[in-house]
Amino acid sequence: MSQAFLTPKVSVIIPVYNCELYIAQAIESVFKQTYTNYEIIVIDDGSTDNTHQVLQPYMTKIRYFHQENKGLSATRNRGIKLAKGELIALLDADDLFLPYKLTEQVAIFDAQSNIGLVQSGWRVVNEKGERIQDIEPWHKSPELDLVSWLKWKTTNPSGMIFRKEWLEKVGGFNEKLRRLEDFDIVIRLALAGCQSTWFPKVAVCYRQHSSNMTRNLLAQTAVEEKILDEFFLTPIFLQKFNN
C-alpha cells in the first residue's frame, strides 16, 4: 500500500496452497498496478512446499497469515474478515493482474454507487505465462444478472472485485463447497439484489497448468446440481417465478 494512504480502499486477497512456483509472480503483478491505494493479504492455507520461503522477501509489503488447511472458501472468508478496504479483489496465487486492472475496475465503482460486483475478461496463459487465448464473455452475455450467471456461468474469481458489504451480507463463500464456489456466490449475490457489471476488457491472466487442469467432471457436475437445487428452493425464486 502506498504510504500516502492510511486506509486502503482495495484489499487484494491471495489465498495460497502449495504454489511456490507462481506466488511471487502473483504478488509482483499487484505491485505493478497503476493504482496504489491497496493492501495485499496473503493467507497460506497450510502449504507443505516452499511457499513460506518464497514469501520471505515480501513480508514487509504484505499482510501474511498462516493457518492449517481449511480449503479455498474458508481461506477467502478469512481474508474478507481481515480486509481493511471497502473493495475486495480476489487473486488466485497462480494468476496475474494486468497493470491497469485495479485503476479501471475501481473507477467503475466510483462512478456507479449501486454496483456491488465488477468482473473483467481474462487471458488464458500457459505455465510460462504465454498467451493461449483471451476470454471476453460480454459478447455473448452483455448483462451480468441472475439469468446470465445461470445460463453462461461467466465467472473468474481473479477477474472479480466486490464491495465488501455485499460479501458480508450474503455470508461470504460457502465453505462446504470444494468446487464452483465462485458460481455459488454470484448466484447468492444476485438473489440478494447485488447489481453486477462488466469491465469489458481483459484484465487478468488465468494460468493453466498441470495442477489446475485435472478436474473430476462428475464431481463438478454434482456440485453444480446441488447449487442449482438450493437456488430453485429459495423463497425469492419461488415467489418470483410461481406468481
pLDDT in tens, 53-71: 999 999 999 999 999 999 9
- 211: burial class by Cβ within 10 Å (0-12, 13-18, 19+)? middle
Distance of CA 7 to the CA centre of its chain: 21
Give percent of the chain with pLDDT exceeding 70: 84
Q: What is the pLDDT of residue 216?
A: 53
pLDDT at res. 214: 46
Residues 6 or more apart whose CB falls under 8 angstroms from that of 59 comprise none
Burial of 200 (0-12, 13-18, 19+ CB in 10 A): middle
pLDDT at 180: 80
DSSP 44: E
pLDDT at position 3: 45
86 has a pLDDT exceeding 60: yes
The residue type of 122 is: W
What integer is the mean pLDDT of 19-34? 98
Average pLDDT, the chain: 89
pLDDT of residue 154: 80
Cβ pair 219, 179 in contact under 8 A: yes
Q: Which CB contacts under 8 angstroms, 24+ apart, belong to 29-34?
A: 29/91, 29/96, 29/97, 29/98, 29/99, 29/205, 30/91, 30/97, 31/61, 32/97, 32/99, 33/97, 33/99, 33/100, 33/101, 33/102, 33/103, 34/99, 34/100, 34/102, 34/103
Cell numbers for 229: 437445487
Phi, psi of 56 (to 5 degrees): -55, -45
pLDDT of amino acid 118: 98
Question: What residue ranges define each of the domains in the chain, with the CATH number in brackets?
Answer: 10-214 (3.90.550.10)
For the stretch 153-202, pLDDT in tens is: 788 999 999 999 999 999 999 998 877 899 899 999 999 999 999 999 99
| φ and ψ at residue 180, rounded to 5 degrees | 55, 30
243/223 Cα distance (integer angstroms): 29
For the record, the C-alpha cell of 219 comes out as 464431481
Kindly tell me if the per-residue pLDDT of 219 is higher than 90. no
pLDDT, one tens digit per residue, over 96-155 is: 999 999 999 999 999 999 999 999 999 999 999 999 999 999 999 999 988 887 887 788
